Chains A and B, each alone.
Chain A
Amino acid sequence: KAGVTQTPRYLIKTRGQQVTLSCSPISGHRSVSWYQQTPGQGLQFLFEYFSETQRNKGNFPGRFSGRQFSNSRSEMNVSTLELGDSALYLCASSPNPSPDLNEQFFGPGTRLTVL
């Protein structure tokens, strides 16, 4: 079974631009979560989607948005990029979002650099 895939793996943008990252979950997984990883803050939760609906949202500004498609693939968008948005963006999938979860399965991440 293929794992979680994220595209692109690396991205360089300049301040003020926008970016879209893509995540394809493991086949059959319907829950997708996004995290931002930085050296200073560790992993911070961005949002979680299940069956095309956003179930949870972390404490990030409105410049960060996401969506999920009917095939469970998810995208996240960051508009008006700032230098501080440089980070590794991780996507994770699980079969369902129940609290006694099956563990989440993580993709390799997209490394975003904002110049």
Chain B
Amino acid sequence: AQSVAQPEDQVNVAEGNPLTVKCTYSVSGNPYLFWYVQYPNRGLQFLLKYITGDNLVKGSYGFEAEFNKSQTSFHLKKPSALVSDSALYFCAVRDGRSGNTPLVFGKGTRLSVIA
């Protein structure tokens, strides 16, 4: 069975500093990995995905994530945090080996960027 772990419930970062939101995963086959962001009273918005290819994936709003197969991780990063980045972030995985498995989400990490 596939699973995702986001080890931090909360991450606090000062504006202008780099940020990292951690994610590790477990799947039997090839992982298809996603990051989503949720702003208050809104649905989830897609940020980026890794399916295959370059391990460094660039996404929306200046975010990027690095796929690390040996560490089974897909951490979300941004070089310089903005106050407007404060939101709830979800990592998700799907097993690419099977054509019939749902997307499994982590429990989310709340990012607070302090001015």
Interface presence of A81 (CB below 8 A): no
Please tell me which stretch of A13-21, A37-45, A63-71, A72-80 contacts chain B, meaning at least 4 of its Cβ atoms lie within 8 angstroms of it.
A37-45
How many residues on A have C-beta within 8 angstroms of the other chain's C-beta atoms? 26
- Whether A58 pairs with B32 at a CB distance below 8 angstroms is no
Task: Assess whether B102 is in contact with A99, with CB atoms less than 8 Å apart.
Answer: no
Q: Are B101 and A106 in contact (CB under 8 A)?
A: no
* B residues less than 8 Å from A35 (CB atoms): 105
Chain A residues with CB below 8 A from B46, complex form? 103-105
Contact of B99 with A99 in the complex, beta carbons under 8 Å: yes
Out of B41, B43, B95, name the residue touching A99 (CB < 8 Å). Answer: B95
B22 at the interface (CB under 8 A from A): no
B106 touching A103 by the CB < 8 A rule? no
Q: How far is the CB of A31 from chain B (nearest CB, A)?
A: 11
Interface: A95 (CB within 8 A): no
Category for how many chain B residues contact A: 20 to 34
Q: How far is the CA of A100 from the CA of B34 in the complex (A)?
A: 11
Distance to closest chain B CB from A6 (angstroms): 8
Chain B residues near A4 (CB-CB < 8 A)? 43
A42 to B49, CA, bound (A): 20
Q: Which of B56-115 contact A (CB under 8 A)?
A: 90, 94-108
Q: What are some 14 contacts across the A-B interface (CB < 8 A)?
A: A4-B43, A33-B103, A42-B90, A42-B108, A45-B104, A48-B102, A55-B100, A98-B99, A99-B94, A99-B96, A104-B46, A104-B103, A107-B43, A108-B41
Additional A-B contact list (19), CB under 8 Å, known A41-B107, A56-B102: A4-B43, A42-B90, A43-B44, A43-B90, A43-B105, A43-B108, A44-B105, A45-B102, A45-B105, A48-B102, A55-B100, A92-B43, A99-B94, A99-B99, A99-B101, A100-B96, A103-B34, A108-B41, A108-B42
Q: Which residues of A come within 8 Å of B, CB atoms?
A: 4, 33, 35, 41-45, 48, 55-56, 58, 90, 92, 97-101, 103-109
Chain B residues with a Cβ under 8 A of chain A: 32, 34, 36, 41-46, 49, 51, 90, 94-108
